[in-house]
């Protein structure tokens, strides 16, 4: 009987560990997808790629920066107003909100001018992604200029 109890306890422990690993592995996969999407969005901004934004933002997406709050159509229209010489993204943190929503935060360093004004060179940013019809889409981007 002791051996049977020991086997049951080990089986429970191993299955719990395996289940936890599967969930962690799944989160890591989603995290990698979301970070790749975010990096692609910055490339699209730099390249003024309206098609990328059309295909990868929700219809109700919002962009909140120190200068404005804009919806999807305004974001796409405003792409032509920016000249992005370079950018780098670092210090990503990922938070799964549920199986269909995730949040990332990161630091963005950029050399850009929009509407004739220099964009703050360093910003603390966050993006929320939602899964709709099996595809991850950006629903909210926000940033705050970092203290210099």
* pLDDT value, residue 68: 86
Q: How wide is the angle at C-alpha 12 spanned by C-alphas 11 and 14, nearest 5°?
A: 65
pTM assigned to the model? 0.80
Q: What is the largest CA-CA distance in the chain?
A: 79
* pLDDT value, residue 27: 64
Residue ranges of the chain whose pLDDT lies below 70: 1-27
* pLDDT value, residue 80: 87
């Amino acid at each position: 009987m002791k051996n049977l109890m020991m086997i049951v306890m080990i089986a429970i422990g191993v299955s719990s560990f395996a289940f936890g690993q599967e969930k962690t592995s799944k989160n890591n996969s989603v995290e990698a997808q979301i970070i790749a999407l975010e990096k692609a969005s910055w490339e699209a901004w730099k390249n003024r790629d309206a098609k990328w934004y059309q295909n990868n933002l929700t219809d109700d997406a919002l962009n909140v920066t120190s200068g404005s709050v804009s919806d999807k159509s305004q974001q796409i229209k405003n792409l032509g107003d920016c000249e992005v010489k370079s950018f780098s993204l670092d210090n990503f943190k990922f938070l799964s909100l549920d199986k269909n929503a995730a949040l990332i935060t990161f630091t963005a360093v950029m050399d850009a001018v929009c509407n004739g004004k220099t964009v703050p060179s360093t910003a603390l940013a966050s993006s929320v992604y939602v899964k709709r019809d099996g595809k991850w889409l950006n629903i909210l981007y926000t940033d705050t200029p970092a203290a210099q």
